[in-house]
Amino acid sequence: MRKLSRMTAVILVLILLLSLIGCSSSADKKTHLTFQIWDVYQRPGMQAICDAYTAKHPDVVIDVQATSWSEYWTKLEASAESNTMPDIFWMHTNQLLYYADFGMLADVTDLYDDVDPNYYEEHFSEISRSNASGSDGRLYGVPKDKDNGLLVYNKEMFDAADVPYPTDDWTWEDLADVSRKIHDKTGKYGFMAYNDDQLGYWCFALLRASGLWTL
């Protein structure tokens, strides 16, 4: 029986290998790298990470560039076509194969050989490895974020339908069963999700795959 497990998404920081990394001149021998992200609110944190790195490596300069989500992928695709991609950037698992299979990302498989297996928890490590892989099985990124899709419920609707509240032991079968009962007794949908892949479509797909889609 499939557990109503947390939905995990891994966002990856990817490094693009250029024929010449960084830009330097006779007057400036430092290596200049660009780091592109899609969340302005995370910029201070990313800047702090870069500052910590450059403090130990004063010969490197990292320019953190924040672009809105709505513009991020258009900008990234345009830079790929013009061979001006950033050196370091965030990547989503939905887009990884598109860039990896066209040879736009650096193969970082060997970097994992130097990573302490205890650095990431076991579950996260397995997911991050699978989601960081291209269709050739090579690895093109390292994990940055892990998030969860949560089930939020309305107690009044549960009380009106006289059904028990969700527990940590709920399965997808339990979710579908209670949703039907709520709909039958109140005429309201017992389960709804965002019109979004991460918090919506994937939930619906699991219900349908389990043969439980009736709402």
Report CA torsion sign: 72, 93, 150, 176: positive
Q: List, in order, residues 6 or more apart from 91 with CB less than 8 Å away.
A: 11, 12, 13, 14, 99, 105, 140, 141
Q: How many CB atoms lie within 10 A of CB 77?
A: 15
Q: How many CB atoms lie within 10 A of CB 193?
A: 15
Mean pLDDT throughout 5-23?
A: 42
Q: Which of 147, 166, 188 is the last residue of a domain?
A: 147
Q: H or E stretch including 38?
A: none
82 in a structural domain: yes
Q: Would you place residue 124 in the very low, low, confident or very high pLDDT band (cuts 50, 70, 90)?
A: low
- Taking 80 as the threshold, does the pLDDT of residue 146 lie above it? no
Sheet holding 60-66, edge to edge: 60-66, 31-37, 88-92, 9-15, 142-147
* More confident: 26 or 149: 149
203 in a structural domain: yes
- Do 117 and 47 sit in the same domain of this protein? yes
Q: What is the CATH number of the domain that holds 71?
A: 3.40.190.10
104 in a structural domain: yes
- Do 28 and 111 sit in the same domain of this protein? yes
How far is it, in rounded angstroms, from Cα 7 to Cα 195? 16
Q: What pTM was estimated for this model as a whole?
A: 0.64
CB 91 within 8 Å of CB 99: yes
Determine the length of the chain: 215
Mean pLDDT throughout 178-200?
A: 81
- In this prediction, residue 204 carries a pLDDT of 64
Mean pLDDT over all residues of the chain? 78
pLDDT tens profile 50-93 = 999 999 999 999 999 999 988 999 999 999 999 899 999 998 88
- In this prediction, residue 155 carries a pLDDT of 94
- Do 82 and 21 sit in the same domain of this protein? yes
Q: Are strands 142-147 and 9-15 parallel, antiparallel or unpaired?
A: antiparallel
- Do 62 and 167 sit in the same domain of this protein? no
- Do 68 and 128 sit in the same domain of this protein? yes
- Do 143 and 160 sit in the same domain of this protein? no
Q: Which of 147, 181, 199 is the last residue of a domain?
A: 147
Q: DSSP code of 143?
A: E
pLDDT tens profile 93-115 = 888 888 988 888 988 888 777 77
- Taking 70 as the threshold, does the pLDDT of residue 197 lie above it? no
- Taking 80 as the threshold, does the pLDDT of residue 209 lie above it? no
- Taking 70 as the threshold, does the pLDDT of residue 208 lie above it? no
Domain count, the chain: 2
176 in a structural domain: yes
- Do 130 and 173 sit in the same domain of this protein? no
pLDDT tens profile 73-82 = 999 999 999 9
Rg of the chain over all Cα atoms, to the nearest angstrom: 22
17 in a structural domain: yes
61 in a structural domain: yes
| Packed helices 202-209 and 172-186: angle between N→C axes, nearest 10 degrees | 100
- Domain carrying residue 33: 9-147
Mean pLDDT throughout 102-129?
A: 73
131 in a structural domain: yes
